[in-house]
């Protein structure tokens, strides 16, 4: 059995946690001998970080050695349009489609054709903050070739633009199943006409990484508080790509108050320490400390890159985590550490609601230092009870995170492989 996981962005620690959760679920369900290949936009860099997995370029991945002008600006846009046009011709004119593709794209096409099924990796790529047409090229190509496609647990929508609504409504109903992380995403797809029998809601794939939860430890006199921050230019009130100043000041004022309470405050996130990635949360945190917390004792910034399992261990060493990154929240919960969540997208609030912890979530635009301090103190005062609830939910969420892989296996058993247009193997 061979599976191709597409659209990975594993330089992002949260997406890496999703990927490793999917791999664990697939191996648990199909057996350890299942052959797994992964396409990643930055396959070279991510392959160095995670050499145990096999990474390859996809349709729109980096092209080593390609002049910069060919991958950016008008030339880069034209290249993406050419590739997307070729993909859409696969169903009606395969030879012409292949002619329009460059070698790397033809190699990727051959990899799709040789797979027993495709998994579009979980995460949050199908939202209108981004242009996601090219993200679905893999799905459209696999459908044209008769390869079954499954979307692993997603948060997506809402879809307000007519072009996006039409695209989603034409592509997703032809997938074997679309697995979602929350009911809100399910409603977004029902609104554009995706049939309900194609949809099911499950826990985020990263919960598959949960192992034996540690024995809860008592909160010491000097509590340890981790804070995950991130740059976010899509918030209400953001101008010229800048984060609202209110968010930065709320974080800084809360950190100062907690530190003066006697807590050790450490800025720690899932996206840091990787030069090749487009953002580094530790650099953003350093800016907050430098500009708003200069000279404050008991406050530090952790800049180290960590693999997903190491992030679980790191977050597990804290008494509470204030998380803007959703997977900082999830990996903290996997470690048994209570979370105060800052929801820059609805997915964080929905996840904490599923835990019964929505009172510990606040929207990015509404966060204040007073709210953060009050909720953090409440966690510290009720940590034992919260940990017991977390342990019960994590056990159930771990089983639910594996469920999509089991559904895929049931759907594939006894299913004859559809035959799509013939596509020659990789180019010479």
Q: How far apart are CA 279 and CA 296, in angstroms?
A: 25
Collapsing DSSP to helix, strand or coil, 165 comes out as: helix
Domains 2-201+398-412 and 224-381 in one fold:
yes
pLDDT at residue 343 in the model? 97
**According to the model, what pLDDT value does residue 416 have?**
65
Is the model's pTM score more than 0.95?
A: no
CB neighbour class for 269 (10 Å; exposed up to 12, middle 13-18, buried from 19): buried
Tell the CATH superfamily of the 224-381 domain: Glycogen Phosphorylase B; (3.40.50.2000)
Q: Given a cut of 90, is residue 313 above it in pLDDT?
A: yes
Q: 366-391, pLDDT tens digit by residue?
A: 999 999 999 999 999 999 999 999 99
Q: How confident is the model at residue 129 (pLDDT cuts 50, 70, 90)?
A: confident
Spatial contact of 44 and 10, defined as CB atoms under 8 Å apart? no
CA-CA-CA-CA dihedral for 403, 21, 383, 269, to nearest 10: -150
CATH superfamily assigned to domain 2-201+398-412: Glycogen Phosphorylase B; (3.40.50.2000)
Residue 427 has what pLDDT? Answer: 45
Report the pLDDT value the prediction gives residue 376, as an integer from 0 to 100. Answer: 98
User: Which residues face 56 on adjacent strands?
Assistant: 39
- Taking only the tens place, the pLDDT of each residue in 324-369 is 999 999 999 999 999 999 999 999 999 999 999 999 999 999 999 9
Q: What pLDDT was estimated at residue 227?
A: 98
> Phi and psi dihedrals of 178, rounded to 5?
-115, 115
206 CB neighbour count, 10 Å cutoff: 31
Domain ranges (residues) in the chain: 2-201+398-412, 224-381
For residues 117-144, average pLDDT? 94
- What's the pLDDT tens digit per position in 225-273? 999 999 998 876 654 444 589 999 999 999 999 999 999 999 999 999 9
Q: Is the per-residue pLDDT at 86 higher than 90?
A: yes
Which phi and psi angles does 106 have, rounded to 5°? -65, -35
| In the predicted structure, residue 194 carries a pLDDT above the cut 90 | yes
């Amino acid at each position: 059995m061979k599976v191709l996981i597409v659209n990975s962005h594993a330089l992002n620690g949260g997406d890496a946690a999703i990927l490793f959760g999917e791999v664990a679920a697939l191996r648990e369900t199909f057996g350890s001998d299942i052959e797994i290949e992964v396409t990643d936009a930055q396959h070279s860099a991510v392959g160095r970080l995670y050499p145990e997995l096999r990474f390859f370029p996809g349709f729109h991945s980096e092209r080593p050695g390609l002049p910069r002008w060919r991958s950016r600006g008008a030339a880069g846009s034209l290249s993406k349009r050419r590739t997307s046009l070729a993909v859409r011709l696969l169903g009606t004119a395969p030879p012409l489609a292949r002619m329009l593709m460059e070698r790397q794209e033809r190699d990727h096409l051959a990899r799709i054709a040789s797979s027993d099924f495709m998994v579009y990796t979980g995460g949050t790529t199908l939202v209108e903050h981004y242009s996601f047409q090219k993200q679905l090229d893999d799905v459209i190509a696999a459908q044209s070739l008769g390869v079954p496609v499954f979307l692993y647990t997603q948060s997506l929508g809402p879809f307000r633009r007519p072009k996006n609504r039409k695209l989603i409504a034409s592509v997703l109903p032809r997938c074997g199943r679309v697995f979602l992380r929350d009911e809100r995403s399910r409603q977004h797809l029902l609104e554009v006409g995706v049939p309900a029998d194609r949809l099911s809601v499950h826990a985020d794939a990263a919960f598959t990484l949960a192992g034996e939860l540690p024995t809860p430890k008592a909160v010491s006199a000097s509590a340890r508080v981790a804070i995950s921050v991130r740059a976010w230019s899509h918030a209400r009130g953001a101008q010229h790509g800048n984060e609202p100043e209110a968010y930065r000041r709320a974080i800084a004022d809360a950190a100062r108050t907690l530190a003066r309470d006697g807590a050790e405050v450490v800025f720690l996130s899932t996206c840091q320490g990787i030069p090749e990635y487009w953002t580094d949360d530790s650099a953003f945190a350093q800016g907050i400390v430098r500009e708003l917390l200069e000279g404050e004792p008991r406050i530090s910034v952790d800049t180290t890159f960590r693999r997903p399992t190491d992030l679980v261990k790191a977050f597990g060493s804290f008494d509470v985590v204030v998380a803007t990154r959703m997977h900082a929240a999830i990996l903290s919960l996997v470690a048994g550490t209570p979370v105060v969540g800052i929801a820059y997208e609805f997915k964080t609030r929905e996840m904490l609601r599923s835990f019964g912890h929505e009172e510990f979530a606040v929207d990015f635009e509404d966060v204040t230092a007073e709210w953060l301090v009050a909720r953090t103190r409440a966690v510290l005062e009720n940590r034992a009870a919260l940990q017991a609830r977390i342990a019960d939910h994590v056990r159930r969420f771990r089983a639910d995170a594996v469920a999509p892989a089991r559904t895929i296996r049931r759907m594939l058993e006894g299913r004859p492989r559809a035959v799509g247009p013939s596509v020659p193997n990789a180019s010479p």
